[in-house]
Chains A and B, each alone.
Chain A
Amino acid sequence: MKVQNKSLLTGYSLTLCLILAGCGGGGSTSTSSTDDDSSSNTQTPTTMEKSTYSLSGTVPGTLIEAFCKDGSYYSVNSTDDGTENHPFTLTLPSDIECKLVMTTNEKQSDVTQYIITPILLNDGETTSSYFELDDNVSLGHIALPMSGEGVQEPFTVEVSDEKLQVKSFSYDALDTDGDNVPNVYEDDDDDGVYNKYDEDDNNNENDSDGDGVENQYDSDDDNDGTKDTEESESSETEESDDENEDKEEESQEDEDEKDEDEKDDETENSNSATITLPTSYKADAGRLLGSQCAQCHGTNGVSVNKWDSIAGEDDLEDEIFEDDEPIMSAQAHGYTSEEITLIGNWLKTLSKNDD
């Protein structure tokens, strides 16, 4: 599989790319149609705010779980269709890296008899537990081990679908000791019960589900398959999520200011915007120099208050010296005309309506 856009060296990629939510991602939302074991299908694809893709395949009778970098959790049971190869379809977000764990013998009442297999993916170049979907992808048949007990050696699935990017990270919050066994399937207190099923094995109160992502950054902090944002609206009785709601405290409360002329002070702590990040770095001297305007004029030239936004400014060479603000004038005289031209050329590339 070719991972196209990932090369640091070729870097044929984007100029600075700040696109709003509506432009990002895209693609279909595919829901599982094969899951008859509804009791364990915890997906809620209908209210996902981000686009999703389906990952499918066939397995022996299996619980398929996905653990994603943002702390979210997805799971589905394969469907017993009378054959050896039970189909499954798991709906996953398109813009977050996830990893899989597959459990056979999962109908046993004793969790110690589960056969738990972490999945690695190999695209011919990279082997890693993490992948990201660019479209619906089928993994084909995965011949998981059916004997043994407990956590197995990772099972490597060869993938050849370019719509699945295998991604390798040198640090993995979901697997802090880097042994390819996710934290939830470690047994920290060595009592024979995996952290995930171990009631008394909560060694970090800030990480209720023990996946390695602290509650305030965990979009599903009890790993029940329902995003915390959806739970907090509908339920007052859920234990973990409601105790640890991910609400950002509004840190920039508007206050009545002394100076009526300068009323709209301070940042709105705009937490609604989503941005699309580039896939590679491209050096840009104008952007580097122009980023130094952001302390006063806002990130990428978009001010959060009544001070001037400079994104899209098309005549910086003249405007910068015409400003009658002495602090601006002092800054302007610290730059050479060549530098101002570089900054001006970069500002022209920015959208005025970036907010």
Chain B
Amino acid sequence: MKTTNSNSRRDFMKFVGLSSLVAITPTVSSAATIPHIVVVGGGFAGATCAKYLKMWGGSSVDVTIIEPNATYVSPILSNLVLNGQKTTSNLSFTYGSYSSKYGINMVHSTVNAVDKTNQSLTLANGNSVKYDKLVLAPGIDFIKTNEYDIAKIPHAWKAGEQTNLLKAQIDAMKDGDTFTMTIPAAPYRCPPGPYERACVVADYLKNTKGYSNCKVVVLDANAKIIVEEETFATTFANYGVDYRPSTTVTHVDDTTKTVSYTEGGTSKTLSSTVLNVIPNQKAAPIIFTAGVNSGNWAPINPLSYESVVASGIYIIGDSQATGQPKAGHIGNSEAKVCADAILRTLSGVALYASPKTNSACYSPTSATEASWLTGVFKYDTGTQTMVAANTAAGGPSTSNYGKMFLWSGNLFADTFS
């Protein structure tokens, strides 16, 4: 296009505008280009962050979400799709009313490149997007032992099509068949989730399908049940779940549905009617593309969630490297601390020095009962990390099963409405 000087004029104005943010004269700052905050990922962390940036920052900030999918399917409650208590459409969220309510720009594309020097993203659709602050909320990626077809060996650890695939496989089981799942080494998304799934599937096969001869086998990479040990150990015993800790998956064969693993230094194989391998996990690819990882995750300052290796880039949710659990509820929680920190930084206000986050999760253990787990996390100035301020858990009950939907209802609304 032949608009050379107007473009440079615009860039010049932008330069003046941005530099005025650090100036002292308020009248100059009013001429600033409205800061553009790009949030990559529209899940629990990303959608919450964008919403709160606009709710608290209003027209002083321009916020864009870049998310590949027009519909988000919540992994929270998705084990209830497996036993028919929910459908994936019950757990689906779109961004239409949400984005218009808060004035958030939506772009459905994928980020191919991050230019930290020019603060610009290149999208798969060819467009480039400039940012003043970049929030990465991309979730997780899998570390598979070998190449295999996840349509045959679904992980169902990102909800949607994968969840329905696994449900179809479970529904095709006959009495006497075997369901085998593998639990990744911590840290992984949703600590109670795999144990919850084993309980839900065992209950479904036994009590809904009426199969008394099906086997449920759990190969856990961890040395023991890592959360709610009493609840899940008791429930496993009730259902007769074959639980094998300290097992390391070494190979997956999608043709024979066989998993190879080591247990106590011995190599073993196991074939199963349904094989649900949940691989080990790491931060999503953009964390590595942007070069903000250290090892498998992205280290951040818990006061702001700003990367410790790249200024102006913030990482929230499952990809960040604090010791806080990786899950939707606390992703929402981290997002608010991050949104507030970004707005403080843009306004020249010091970061809040003692942020709190919390996690909470109700886990179904059957089609009628659920347990819960919760924690409050505080900033420890000595170690500059988030540490538990208080944690608690409660065992399965029908009352908790009902409360699970009250919890998720408000969590979903606080994130997507």
A interface residue numbers (CB < 8 A to B): 2-4, 6-11, 14, 16-18, 69-70, 118, 120, 125-128, 151, 153-154, 167-171, 173, 176-181, 186, 204, 206, 214, 216-217, 219, 246, 248-249, 251-253, 255, 257-259, 261-262, 265-271, 273-275, 277-281, 283, 285, 287-289, 291-292, 294-299, 303-307, 326-327, 329-331, 333-335, 339
Kindly state the separation between the CA atoms of A153 and B102 in the bound complex, as whole angstroms: 33
Which of B14, B95, B368 is close to A170, meaning CB atoms less than 8 Å apart?
Answer: B14
Question: Are B96 and A259 neighbours in the complex by a CB distance under 8 Å?
Answer: no
Interface size on B, residues (CB 8 A): 111
B294 cross-chain contacts in A, Cβ below 8 A: none
A-B contact pairs, 21 of them (CB 8 A): A18-B55, A168-B10, A168-B14, A170-B33, A171-B64, A178-B7, A179-B7, A180-B6, A180-B10, A214-B106, A216-B96, A257-B405, A277-B54, A277-B103, A279-B60, A281-B57, A296-B360, A298-B410, A304-B417, A307-B407, A330-B390
Question: Are A2 and B30 neighbours in the complex by a CB distance under 8 Å?
Answer: yes
Interfacial residues of chain B within 270-284, with CB under 8 A of chain A in the complex: none
- Check A295/B333 contact, CB under 8 A, given A154-B6, A326-B392: yes
Kindly state the separation between the CA atoms of A81 and B170 in the bound complex, as whole angstroms: 75
B32 cross-chain contacts in A, Cβ below 8 A: 8, 168
Closest 7 CB pairs of A and B: A334-B376, A262-B402, A259-B402, A265-B405, A271-B97, A330-B392, A125-B31
Interfacial residues of chain B within 393-417, with CB under 8 A of chain A in the complex: 394, 398-399, 401-403, 405-414, 416-417
Q: Using an 8 Å CB-CB cutoff, how does the interface string of B349-368 with A read, 1 for contact, 0 for none? A: 10010011110100000011
Question: Are A261 and B402 neighbours in the complex by a CB distance under 8 Å?
Answer: yes
B311 at the interface (CB under 8 A from A): no
Question: Are A176 and B62 neighbours in the complex by a CB distance under 8 Å?
Answer: no
Question: Are A11 and B368 neighbours in the complex by a CB distance under 8 Å?
Answer: no
Question: Are A9 and B35 neighbours in the complex by a CB distance under 8 Å?
Answer: no
Chain A nearest CB, measured from B183 CB (Å): 25
Chain B nearest CB, measured from A167 CB (Å): 6
Q: Using an 8 Å CB-CB cutoff, how does the interface string of B11-47 with A read, 1 for contact, 0 for none? A: 0011001000100101101111111101000000000
A270 cross-chain contacts in B, Cβ below 8 A: 413, 417
Kindly state the separation between the CA atoms of A280 and B412 in the bound complex, as whole angstroms: 27
Residue of A11, A292, A329 most packed against chain B (CB within 10 A) = A292
Question: Are B55 and A277 neighbours in the complex by a CB distance under 8 Å?
Answer: yes
B333 cross-chain contacts in A, Cβ below 8 A: 292, 295
Chain A nearest CB, measured from B363 CB (Å): 13
B265 at the interface (CB under 8 A from A): no
A-side interface mostly: loop
Question: Are B406 and A305 neighbours in the complex by a CB distance under 8 Å?
Answer: yes
Q: B44: nearest residue on chain A (CB-CB)?
A: A295
B195 at the interface (CB under 8 A from A): no
Q: B332: nearest residue on chain A (CB-CB)?
A: A295
Question: Are A330 and B92 neighbours in the complex by a CB distance under 8 Å?
Answer: no
B131 cross-chain contacts in A, Cβ below 8 A: 170-171
- Check A298/B413 contact, CB under 8 A, given A168-B17, A258-B367, A330-B391: yes
Q: B55: nearest residue on chain A (CB-CB)?
A: A277
A4 cross-chain contacts in B, Cβ below 8 A: 30
Q: A3: nearest residue on chain B (CB-CB)?
A: B30
Q: A305: nearest residue on chain B (CB-CB)?
A: B409
Question: Are A327 and B374 neighbours in the complex by a CB distance under 8 Å?
Answer: yes
Question: Are A281 and B6 neighbours in the complex by a CB distance under 8 Å?
Answer: no
B367 cross-chain contacts in A, Cβ below 8 A: 258
Q: Using an 8 Å CB-CB cutoff, how does the interface string of B90-132 with A read, 1 for contact, 0 for none? A: 1111111111111101111000000000000000010101111
- 6 further A-B contacts with Cβ under 8 Å, apart from A126-B33, A335-B356, are A178-B130, A217-B96, A277-B58, A288-B352, A327-B372, A327-B394
B35 cross-chain contacts in A, Cβ below 8 A: 8, 170
Which of B34, B36, B100 is close to A219, meaning CB atoms less than 8 Å apart?
Answer: B100
B344 at the interface (CB under 8 A from A): yes
Chain A nearest CB, measured from B216 CB (Å): 22
Interfacial residues of chain B within 123-182, with CB under 8 A of chain A in the complex: 125, 127, 129-132
Kindly state the separation between the CA atoms of A7 and B347 in the bound complex, as whole angstroms: 9
Q: B123: nearest residue on chain A (CB-CB)?
A: A176
B186 at the interface (CB under 8 A from A): no
Question: Are B60 and A307 neighbours in the complex by a CB distance under 8 Å?
Answer: no
B329 at the interface (CB under 8 A from A): yes
Question: Are A298 and B13 neighbours in the complex by a CB distance under 8 Å?
Answer: no
B337 at the interface (CB under 8 A from A): yes
Question: Are B374 and A258 neighbours in the complex by a CB distance under 8 Å?
Answer: no
B355 cross-chain contacts in A, Cβ below 8 A: 288
B70 at the interface (CB under 8 A from A): yes
Question: Are A180 and B7 neighbours in the complex by a CB distance under 8 Å?
Answer: yes
Question: Are A303 and B410 neighbours in the complex by a CB distance under 8 Å?
Answer: yes
Question: Are A266 and B405 neighbours in the complex by a CB distance under 8 Å?
Answer: yes
Kindly state the separation between the CA atoms of A281 and B343 in the bound complex, as whole angstroms: 7
B100 cross-chain contacts in A, Cβ below 8 A: 70, 217, 219
- Check A267/B57 contact, CB under 8 A, given A6-B30, A248-B94, A277-B102: no
Chain B nearest CB, measured from A231 CB (Å): 16
Which of B94, B340, B375, B376 is close to A251, meaning CB atoms less than 8 Å apart?
Answer: B94
Chain A nearest CB, measured from B402 CB (Å): 3
Which of A168, A251, A303, A307 is close to B92, meaning CB atoms less than 8 Å apart?
Answer: A251
Q: A277: nearest residue on chain B (CB-CB)?
A: B58
Kindly state the separation between the CA atoms of A253 and B92 in the bound complex, as whole angstroms: 10
Chain A nearest CB, measured from B104 CB (Å): 9
Question: Are B349 and A283 neighbours in the complex by a CB distance under 8 Å?
Answer: yes
B103 cross-chain contacts in A, Cβ below 8 A: 69, 277
Question: Are A179 and B3 neighbours in the complex by a CB distance under 8 Å?
Answer: yes
Kindly state the separation between the CA atoms of A25 and B125 in the bound complex, as whole angstroms: 36
A327 cross-chain contacts in B, Cβ below 8 A: 360, 372, 374, 392, 394, 403
B256 at the interface (CB under 8 A from A): no
A167 cross-chain contacts in B, Cβ below 8 A: 34
Chain A nearest CB, measured from B124 CB (Å): 12
Kindly state the separation between the CA atoms of A69 and B63 in the bound complex, as whole angstroms: 12
Question: Are A271 and B391 neighbours in the complex by a CB distance under 8 Å?
Answer: no
